[in-house]
Structure formats: C-alpha cells, structure tokens
A and B are shown apart, each in its own frame.
Chain A
C-alpha cells in the first residue's frame, strides 16, 4: 500500500526543509554578496541584499596583495595528505576493532575519543617545542602529522561504525574459501565499505581544510594554508569586511565545489546502514 501523503503535508515539509536550508546557507551567501560590495556598502545599515553596485575591486586587491595559489597548494597538500595518512592507519585499526573485538575495545574507542576533549591550546607550548626541535615548524609535513593525529579518532570512529554494519559472516565465508587476511580486506571488506570510506575521506578533507588552530599556530610563511590567508584580512583599525569576505569566498570555494560534486557519497555515507 502506497503511503498516503497529503499535499498539505508535502508543502509544510518542503517549506520547512527550504527554511532550514536557507538558514544554514545564509552566512555563506552573505559572505559571498559582501565580497562584491565596497567597504562602505559592507557596513551600511540597513544593509542591501542584492541591489548595490557590484564590484570586483576586493578580489583584485586580495589577488594583488596575497599569493593565493601558495596558500591554496598548502591547504590541498595538508588536507589530502593528512586524510590519506589517517585512512592508512585507521582502516586496519577499525577492522581489528569491528571484527575481532576484545573486552577492552569499547574502552580503547572511548579513550581515543577523549583525546578530542582537551582544548588544543593546552598542549600548544609542548607541541611547539617538539616541532621546533624536530625542525617541523612551518613545514607541510609537520601539519600533515598534526592533522592526522587530530582527526584520527574521528576517522577510526566513523570507519568502525561502517565496518560494524558489514555482516561478519561474509568475511567468514571468504576465509573459509581460503582468502588470506590481505585478500579479505582488499577484495571483500573494502568494496562493501567504499561508501563509508568515501564519506570519511570527504568529511576529513573538509575538517582538515577548515582546521584553524594548529594551521595558524605552527606555520609562519612557507606552509601557511588558506586559514592564514583569511586571517591576514582582519584588521584591528580600519574597515575590512568586504576584503575579508572576498578572501573567505576564495578560501571556501574549492571545498564547496568538492562538496557539491561528492554530495551523493557524503549523504550516503552519513546516513548509516548504507551497505545493508
């Protein structure tokens, strides 16, 4: 029997969904619009939403003043590098915890998550000293390592949840057919877990792209990613909203495009139970 959904209900749900969507998207839209205003228009009250003299002046100035490509490259290397390194470590760990759990597995998982509960500034000085002594300050390698460590608990947790959804019997059957451990992971587990791995990968790239504490504090000029690029447009004395908006728009555009193209995988992965 088909579900009986009244037109009225459909309208209410659609309107509510659009309202929530617009509410969430509004700050990004506002930033985008502000980036085409002059500094005077950006602070005008009451503000104008669409009816102002659109100008590319801010983008010109941001391009002239900063090396966008350098920051962009750093962001790409750091976010993709840290996510890939994280996955290499996390896939075997999550496999072990999902398919051969011990009585302590839950505790280990909780302990990993607990590392996310400490405010990062608490370990800033020790981390800075380690980085200084190992020559990792202001290097992309250093940031890849730090962001891997920071996002590892989330990667493991996500993968663990996906792997738990995969029936262990399938793996057992593969084993009974004589598959080795490597073959079992590569040919049986991975294909089934691909939606989960893909969404973990994408989510972590986004998290690493937006990470702004360590990327600001452990870099100076060479390895500074787009977060530092944005931070350079805020001013203590002087108007900066329009230029800051232009810089922000340029910084989020690549990740927005990536998210747009991969939204199917993201949604599929984030709504659990995709493999059942």
Chain B
C-alpha cells in the first residue's frame, strides 16, 4: 500500500511540474551513426556561436520523410535545418521549398565537394540547395576467407557473371553459409534501390526518352530473372524480407559470402566490436555486365534549410559548421579518422591519415566517382538518379513495383507476371501524372 501511495504521489507531482524551452534552431535528422556523432559534438558549435542553441529531432527515416514533407509542403516552419536525401533535394528545390545556400562563409570551399555528389544537390539555376553531410555509393563486400577456401580471387571490378558463379560455389546451405545476400524487402529505397541500380548494369531503364515505362523490354527480364535465380540458388532463406539492416546482421554473423550494398556498411562490417568477420572482409566495385554501366548508386544525406524558417542566418551558420572541412578535423580529433563522415569532400580522400585509418576509402571514392546520376543507364533516359528516378511520383510507384519484385523473389508470382504488373502500374501512374498520354 505504501509503495502504491508513493508511486501515485510521484505521478501527481510529475503532472504538476511545468516545463519551459528556450528558442533554438530545430534540426530534424535520422538516427545514423554519423548524425549521432554530430549531436555529441555540438558543444563545439555552440561555444563558437553562444547565441544559438540547438534542438534535435531524431526520427526513423520514413517517419522523418513523412513528417518533414508535411511541414515543408504546408510551410509549417517547425524545422530550421532538415536532413534529406539526394532524392528529395532536386524535387523540393524545384518546388521552392528550400532556400539556396549562398552564405556558407568564405572558408567553406564549395569546390572541394565531390563533383558527383555536388551535382545532385545543385538546382537548375546552378545554386546549391543542400550541403552533403555524408555520401555513399554501393560496392561488393566479400569474405576473403571463403573465397580463398573456394579457390576464387575477387577482381577489383567484377562482372555479374563472376559474382553469380562465385556465389553458387561458396554457398553451403547445410552450414548456413549463403553465397550472396541482396536486398529483397519491398520499398523504393529498399529492394528498388538495389534493383534499379543493377538493372542499369543490365542495360535496362525505368523510362525511355518519352517517359514510356520499359518493364516490358528484354533487359528488365534479364535483370530480374538473373536476380531471382541467383537468390534462389545462393541467397539466404526469406530474402524477400531482407533490407540493409537484415543483411548487415547476416553478414556480420558470418552467414554471407558476399553482400552488395551501401559503402557506409564497410565501417560496420570491419568494426571488431560488432562484426565477427571484421578481419576477413574485402571490397570490390559493384559488378557490371560489360555494357559500360556498373550498378553502383549514389546517395548522400544532406542538410538543407526549409523556406519556412525564420532563422535563416543561424541555420546557414550551422550547415556550414556541420558540412565544412573543420568538422572533419574535429571528428578525427575526438573520435578518430575512421569515424569521419565519408564521401563528401575531395580533400578527405587526399589525406594520408584517413587513407590509413579507412581501408575502404579508395573503393568508396572510386564507387562514388563511377556513379553518374545524369546518365545512369546504358540507353538515354529523361530522368536524374541512379537508384531512383527523381520525380515526386517515384516514392509511390517505386514501392508498388518493389512489391511485385519482392513477390517474384518469394515465388508468389513468376518473373514475367511481376514485370507485367510493374508495367501496368507504371503506365497507369505515369498517365495519371500526365507524363504520357
């Protein structure tokens, strides 16, 4: 009884307490390692700018996207700095939802930003609409020990044929070792990111120059057929529900011979605290089929300032701090070079100390540089984006098509049926949106 009374008393005391907050910059971000590190280092920013306080809103990626889109579309003004992906930047800039970053300071050095990343963040008017916080591409991560055991040698720039062959040789289902782990979970940023990039290597494209969907073309059939067969032969069970984190878990526990995914994973799989295979991982460029395009994508998490903010000057100061050269040095000093956010600045890759601390640095840079968002496919396309199509309709359409492809992987429908449904979905959506008649 006493405990009960005490608890009730405590509860009511808590209810009566008031709570006040000072006016500050509100920053919306995702829960990624590099962003969390940035939150921990904000003392450096606030000591240099004592009149600015920072308030963080960290949300799950999809929640953040929905939340921030609602706010920016209604000019709600809840946030002063947004963390957004490469997909959103050109669309939102075109809508007039983002402020151009023109006052980042004299020592910001815009020309130091990696050209491939920078071009995706520049609007049609040539102005920068978001500053990259970290960038990534995709590459092959493989188990050197398993390759050695199978008598295989991974080339620096493998073909899909080699990858498939190696995956089948390494697979040992009795011991729960699967030759290759690839994304299968439906979603425009999940399996469709991987499959769109892979389809580029197979000569496929989402749309022709007149925005006509291309899922009825043989290139898509080749790509999807190849993927489904490979995953059935050499992939883990239940692959159609695996995304980045599921594959990361499989790879780190030694169950995958190869994993093709974001370059940012390199620092996780080589971290001995988390990974059981930390010292056995090798890296290679994303595979191709000899048609001239590799399936390596390009993505960056960026900081942007919404048009609804009342605190533009302070927000610009923060963006310049978090994406500037000085910040990289600050992280290196406090947390070591291996933890510096990768993939945004040329100078980082010229730094000998970074190269020494991050064995995957060169492969990351090569992968980013090899991606070409303006000409992602073998044939010409009317859109921008390697693993996505930078139009507002893509989120919905990409996920709907992703569901069809996940169903094909799970064996619920055939590859032909999945492609047929994808074509119908795409034609309907593109007609409705007015791209085609």
- Find chain B residues with CB under 8 A from A231 CB: 59-60, 63
Would you call A240 and B249 a contact (CB within 8 A)?
no
Between A and B, 6 residue pairs with Cβ closer than 8 Å are A39-B274, A40-B252, A40-B273, A137-B78, A261-B4, A261-B7
Would you call B245 and A221 a contact (CB within 8 A)?
no
| Contact size range, B | 35 or more
| Per-residue B-contact encoding for A194-232, CB less than 8 Å = 1, 0 else | 000000000000000000000011001110100010011
User: How far apart sit A257 and B67, CA to CA, in the bound complex (Å)?
Assistant: 31
- Find chain B residues with CB under 8 A from A39 CB: 274
Would you call A232 and B78 a contact (CB within 8 A)?
no
In the complex, whether A157 has a CB less than 8 A from a CB of chain B is no
A43, A237, A238 pick with most chain B CB within 10 angstroms: A237
Minimum-distance CB pairs A-B, first 4: A232-B58, A234-B60, A43-B249, A236-B61
- Find chain B residues with CB under 8 A from A74 CB: 19
User: How far apart sit A217 and B14, CA to CA, in the bound complex (Å)?
Assistant: 25
Say how far B45's CB is from chain A's closest CB, in angstroms.
17
Say how far B173's CB is from chain A's closest CB, in angstroms.
15
Q: How many A-B residue pairs have CB under 8 A?
A: 115
In the complex, whether B66 has a CB less than 8 A from a CB of chain A is yes
| Per-residue A-contact encoding for B1-18, CB less than 8 Å = 1, 0 else | 000100100010011010
In chain A, positions 230-264 with a C-beta closer than 8 Å to chain B are 231-240, 257-258, 261
Determine the residue in chain A with the shortest Cβ distance to B28.
A220
In the complex, whether B403 has a CB less than 8 A from a CB of chain A is no
In chain A, positions 36-63 with a C-beta closer than 8 Å to chain B are 39-40, 43-45
Say how far A137's CB is from chain B's closest CB, in angstroms.
6
Would you call B268 and A238 a contact (CB within 8 A)?
yes
A residues with CB within 8 A of B: 39-40, 43-45, 65, 70, 72-74, 76-77, 80, 124-125, 128-129, 132, 137-138, 216-217, 220-222, 224, 228, 231-240, 257-258, 261
Determine the residue in chain A with the shortest Cβ distance to B60.
A234
In the complex, whether B46 has a CB less than 8 A from a CB of chain A is no
User: How far apart sit A235 and B252, CA to CA, in the bound complex (Å)?
Assistant: 17
User: How far apart sit A239 and B245, CA to CA, in the bound complex (Å)?
Assistant: 6
User: How far apart sit A76 and B11, CA to CA, in the bound complex (Å)?
Assistant: 9
User: How far apart sit A137 and B71, CA to CA, in the bound complex (Å)?
Assistant: 10
| Per-residue A-contact encoding for B249-265, CB less than 8 Å = 1, 0 else | 10011010000001011
Say how far B326's CB is from chain A's closest CB, in angstroms.
24
State the main secondary structure of chain A at its contact with B.
helix
User: How far apart sit A235 and B244, CA to CA, in the bound complex (Å)?
Assistant: 10
- CB-CB under 8 A for A76 and B274, given A128-B70, A231-B59, A235-B245: no
Say how far A15's CB is from chain B's closest CB, in angstroms.
32
Would you call A236 and B70 a contact (CB within 8 A)?
no
Would you call A70 and B19 a contact (CB within 8 A)?
yes
Would you call B67 and A221 a contact (CB within 8 A)?
no
Would you call A220 and B244 a contact (CB within 8 A)?
no
- Find chain B residues with CB under 8 A from A138 CB: 78
- Find chain B residues with CB under 8 A from A124 CB: 70
Would you call A236 and B30 a contact (CB within 8 A)?
yes
- Find chain A residues with CB under 8 A from B21 CB: 221-222
Among A77, A128, A216, A224, which residue has its beta carbon within 8 angstroms of that of B74? A128
- Find chain B residues with CB under 8 A from A72 CB: 14
- Find chain A residues with CB under 8 A from B264 CB: 237
Say how far A127's CB is from chain B's closest CB, in angstroms.
10
- Find chain B residues with CB under 8 A from A234 CB: 31, 60-61
